[in-house]
Amino acid sequence: MRALRIILIVVVILGGLFVIADRVAVGFAENKAADRIKSTEGLASTPDVSIKGFPFLTQVAGGELDDVKIGIKDYEASTGGTNAATSTIRIDDLNAEMHGVVFNGDYSSATANSATGTATIAYAELLKAAKSEPAQVAPGVTARVIGLSDGGNGKIKVTVTATVLGTKVPQPVSVLSSVSVSGDTVKVHADSLPKLGVELAEGRIRAITDFQQKIDKLPGGIQLDKVEAAKEGVDISVRGSNVKLVG
C-alpha cells in the first residue's frame, strides 16, 4: 500500500507539472501569435488571442490546433475609396473563432480550415457612407441624411432633413430601412419614402435615403455573411474558409 501511495503521489505531481508546462506553453504561443497578427495586419494595438483545447502540447505535436479565438478592437477596414476621410471604416470588437488551424514547422504561417465571427459598425461610422452633405434632389430642393439609429426589429432609422426653395422643412423626417449584405458591401434600403413636403420622383428621394458601404480586406480574408441593425450599430456576422492567420 505504501508503494502504491507513493506511485499515486508521483503521478499526481507529474500530472500537475505537465498541466503547468502546458499552460505556460500556450500562454507563450498566444503572445507570439498576437504579435505576429498585429504585424501581419498592420494593427494599431495587439489583438487578444486565445488558443482553446487541452492539452496544447499534444495539439502542437500533431501540427494542428482545434480552435483559436481572436479579438480585435477598432479594426480599420478598407472601403476601396480614394478619399483619405472615407477610405477606411472602423469596426468595433471584431471577434473571430478559427477552427482547425494548421501551421508549418517553424510557425511562420498558420491557416484555419474555417472561421466564423462577429463585429459591429457604429451608426456614426456607417453615416459616412450616406449623403450627409446637402444634395440637390430637384430644382430648389436639397436633402441630406443627418442621423442613423436603431429602428427596432432589425431595422435602421434613417433621419433626413430637407430645404425647399431656401426654407428648411420644419421637422426632420425619419424612415425605417432594411440592411443587407451583398458580397463585400453593406446596403441600406428604405422600406418607405419620407414626406419632404414636395412631390419628388422616387429615384431622386432614394438617391438620398438608400446607400451602401463596401467593406474590404478583413483579416485573413474572412468575408461578410449576415448583417442586422442593433442598438449601438450594425451587427455583422463573418465567415471564411482557408483563412490565413499569419504568413
Please report the pLDDT score of residue 24 as a whole number: 66
User: How far is the C-alpha of 87 from the C-alpha of 172, rounded, in Å?
Assistant: 29
User: How far is the C-alpha of 178 from the C-alpha of 194, rounded, in Å?
Assistant: 14
Pick the range with the lowest mean pLDDT from 30-34, 79-83, 86-90, 135-139: 79-83
Please report the pLDDT score of residue 201 as a whole number: 67
Please report the pLDDT score of residue 57 as a whole number: 74
Question: Does residue 86 register a pLDDT over 80?
Answer: no
Please report the pLDDT score of residue 106 as a whole number: 58
Question: Does residue 125 register a pLDDT over 70?
Answer: yes
Please report the pLDDT score of residue 12 as a whole number: 44
Please report the pLDDT score of residue 8 as a whole number: 47
Please report the pLDDT score of residue 77 as a whole number: 85
The gap from C-alpha 173 to its chain's centroid, in whole angstroms, comes to: 30
C-alpha cell at 9: 503521489
Give pLDDT tens digits for 144-164: 889 999 999 999 999 988 887
Contact in structure between 236 and 227 (CB atoms under 8 Å): yes
Q: Can you tell me whether residue 92 is helix, strand or coil? A: strand
Question: For residue 26, which amino acid is it?
Answer: V
Question: Does residue 244 register a pLDDT over 90?
Answer: no
User: How far is the C-alpha of 225 from the C-alpha of 101, rounded, in Å?
Assistant: 21
Give pLDDT tens digits for 41-77: 778 888 888 888 777 777 777 777 888 899 998 888 8
Query: Which single residue is written with the C-alpha cell 501581419?
Result: 40
- Mean pLDDT for the stretch of residues 1-14: 46
